[in-house]
Structure 1
């Protein structure tokens, strides 16, 4: 049975591609859309099982591809012949199967087979095999359907569409990847002369010409190192209920304590209500880094090198992706784009610390419209991608009440392990022995485990804010810094005492270099 197909391609390909698809045995063309808006409307109406889009279609980006996948539509990408850049762009947008725009019917059918008939559990590829064996060209009797492999090799596996979400799909040596289909009587990957083959998905690291240094002894001049597989970085989201809880201060200093030249960290300011990390660290940004990274992700141009350029190093091993300068620019941080940014952060750094805004409510009036941007989408997306959540509250009756209610609200948005931090701990608002009282209160009303207590240390925090630096730089032995260092030990799963001694020595060395006369 043929599947209903809709097209939305640039005018120069539209007539020829529609004619070729009309002769396909796999699909039938039910609608030819003139632009992205018409395509999304048609798909939302339930018309079409497959969508064919071209890389040069005006308005096409990652969010459009994501919207099509949300409607359970399979996406086939077409690009100009021999245009590898356009092919890579489609892959970065999440299009798993691509074909040359001038491909013939056999080549299109071969690509549609890969798109419509995903591999079963037994479909694998021989470990260590660089590329799957080619499928016969269109001239053979079984082109696009049958499989021909060298003697002794198992048949190649057909690819599945790339998965969505904040974390990229992990590929092992046996995974099948994206399909590239071409012209010349067969769909073929760029650089191949015979047939069409199934290649693994193009990772951003595959697009670079660097030497690929990735170990602790790699040369610093080789550029940012990619982290994949078991060494993929972790995302730690710092969230807290509304109020002056010190969330941003905790996020900045936690990132600094986790950061190390050999295990770098990225601090992402995703607070769409009141970004403050640039001011806390005295960074002058003409363009908000997080907005630029999200825009690059939407356009399929975000890779490790681009992200490293947008996130300057503010301390050895610590990069900062600055936030939005005004709250009314929140639509620039679309959910899908931010998820891609966090996925690239995982590859760039061992730790990604994300500072998000307190509100988590959904836009109920717009919930029927899946394409509408969510006002709190940045915070919700970060929580969905989080490997751990650090919840920050204040040590006073109002702050503790908000913290208890916030913990209950947070449970509906993430299942990631959480660490509870209470700042500005002092006897005044809660009475004698404030640490014990706060712990008992949160255990009783919120069921929390051990709570990390940050004592009131206004002098140290004022000094850090005055100089635009971190506690480790201006007050390495302060009580607040010691407490936050203990939090970092807990998050990283490191032995507290040895970590504290190493960090204190490193902080003194860094501070002496910063204060040394020129």
Structure 2
């Protein structure tokens, strides 16, 4: 079966003729003058592959995703090694401008096959509910370094339903506690509705670090050095971590595309042992109801963060309003991100809103009426410590190191690491003390 192909650019007059003379493997159905015309032709269902002979500099991760969403693979022609590397980072296969027609035809068939589904030795798509058209990382026509491997870093996402249950406070203090443990930590504000990490940490930020990183990632220009330059260092008394601040206005949400954010988090894994993501609350993905074509997704940043997280904390408020919201939110989370296994955390636990023995009351009610996710942690309501930290633009470990809230957050994230690091000597000593 012949593969319908569209082309853009005039760099080689014999490109179309050479492919047509093969009589079968591919068929050139349209020759476009520029990328917007090519995009329109592909979105109409005209082609399965696109050859960019001129203007590959205009290809971005977002454009590649839009074409992948309608089943179109891209092959760009370039003689620049730097441009080929950039194209590879955003999921575009490349070939030299002098490639033979038969070799180009084979590359087109290979790219289309990989886009249709990963086979033996194929590369999986960066896809998911947040971004159904995520791009492939395709092989080059010429020998070149393989695609970047995911870094060893671990992603921790902090999510919670509507109603300000304390996501940002928990995320920021988790980052601070892990940095105090000697971890290399990067804190990412991916809330597309109300980014507030910069305000909580007292940062005079107007540059929206995450938006900068996503912009470079979309262009295929984000490397480790660039990410380290964008991420602002935050020094505390106990340790230092880096921060990618959020968007400065809610209407800038279009800058946080899912494909670009995925690339940012891939790079983040390479520079940090722990990546802490402060995610937004909304999990809706119903833009298709309002758009005839592939729609922008306001909640893509939240959904993609939750999809990629190795550990997910679901934070809810311990009161008669916050608990039902969390229960409904977890049901929505199960539908939106089926692979998620949230660790449920009750925040602002206090007897005045729950009753005597609030932890026992919450646990009993959760076992009777709550979802399958187990209620695993309680964060006490320490308003004086929280207010002091917010007023000073600091973390709890700085302004209130003995606060019950600080200790609860520390135990939430540091206790597992401490247990994993225990040596046989430490364990035997602890056992002897327990016996005594």
TM-score (norm 1): 0.72
1:87 correspondence with 2:50: no
Question: Which residue of the partner structure matches residue 63 of structure 2?
Answer: 64
SS at match of 1:51: strand
Question: Which residue of the partner structure matches residue 293 of structure 1?
Answer: 213
Contact 2:319–2:354 under 8 Å retained in 1: yes
> In 2, distance between residues paired with 1:395 and 1:107?
63
How far is 1:485 from its partner?
0.7
- C-alpha change, 1:494 and 1:444, in structure 2 (3 Å) is farther
Residue ranges of structure 1 left out of the alignment (5+ in a row): 124-158, 167-176, 182-188, 190-197, 204-227, 500-518
Q: Deviations over 1:376-402 (max 9, x none)?
A: 221112122222221111121111121
Residue ranges of structure 2 left out of the alignment (5+ in a row): 129-136, 424-436
Question: Which residue of the partner structure matches residue 19 of structure 1?
Answer: 17
Question: Which residue of the partner structure matches residue 46 of structure 1?
Answer: 45
Q: Deviations over 1:134-186 (max 9, x none)?
A: xxxxxxxxxxxxxxxxxxxxxxxxx74663248xxxxxxxxxx95444xxxxx
1:352 correspondence with 2:351: no
- CA RMSD in angstroms, aligned pairs only: 2.8
Q: Deviations over 1:21-44 (max 9, x none)?
A: 333453121111223332222222
Contact 1:366–1:372 under 8 Å retained in 2: no
1:423 correspondence with 2:329: no
- C-alpha change, 1:20 and 1:94, in structure 2 (3 Å) is same
Q: 1:111 aligns with which of 100, 107, 111?
A: 107
Question: Which residue of the partner structure matches residue 133 of structure 2?
Answer: none
How far is 1:299 from its partner?
0.6
Q: Which has the higher contact order (CA 8 A, sep 6+)?
A: 2
Contact 2:206–2:248 under 8 Å retained in 1: no
Contact 1:425–1:435 under 8 Å retained in 2: yes
How far is 1:243 from its partner?
1.2
Q: 1:441 aligns with which of 365, 385, 405?
A: 365
> In 2, distance between residues paired with 1:424 and 1:162?
41
Contact 1:115–1:161 under 8 Å retained in 2: no
1:98 correspondence with 2:94: yes
- C-alpha change, 1:405 and 1:55, in structure 2 (3 Å) is farther
Q: What are the residue-to-residue correspondences of 1:6-405 with 2, within 5 Å?
A: 6-9=6-9, 11=10, 13=11, 15-24=13-22, 26-54=25-53, 56-57=55-56, 59-79=58-78, 81=79, 83-95=80-92, 97-112=93-108, 114-115=110-111, 160=122, 163-165=125-127, 179-181=139-141, 189=142, 198-203=143-148, 232-259=152-179, 263-315=183-235, 316-364=239-287, 366=289, 369=292, 371-405=294-328
Q: 1:482 aligns with which of 401, 407, 410?
A: 407
Q: Deviations over 1:234-253 (max 9, x none)?
A: 22211111113111000101
Question: Which residue of the partner structure matches residue 391 of structure 2?
Answer: 466
- C-alpha change, 1:425 and 1:116, in structure 2 (3 Å) is closer
Question: Which residue of the partner structure matches residue 431 of structure 2?
Answer: none
TM-score (norm 2): 0.85
- C-alpha change, 1:418 and 1:202, in structure 2 (3 Å) is closer
Contact 1:288–1:323 under 8 Å retained in 2: yes
Looking at secondary structure, tell me which structure has more helix per residue.
2
Question: Which residue of the partner structure matches residue 4 of structure 1?
Answer: 4
> In 1, distance between residues paired with 2:191 and 2:383?
24
- C-alpha change, 1:479 and 1:122, in structure 2 (3 Å) is closer
Q: Deviations over 1:269-327 (max 9, x none)?
A: 01111111001111122310010011001111011111111112213452100001111
> In 1, distance between residues paired with 2:380 and 2:118?
54
Contact 1:293–1:310 under 8 Å retained in 2: yes
SS at match of 1:410: helix
- C-alpha change, 1:121 and 1:429, in structure 2 (3 Å) is closer
- C-alpha change, 1:370 and 1:484, in structure 2 (3 Å) is farther
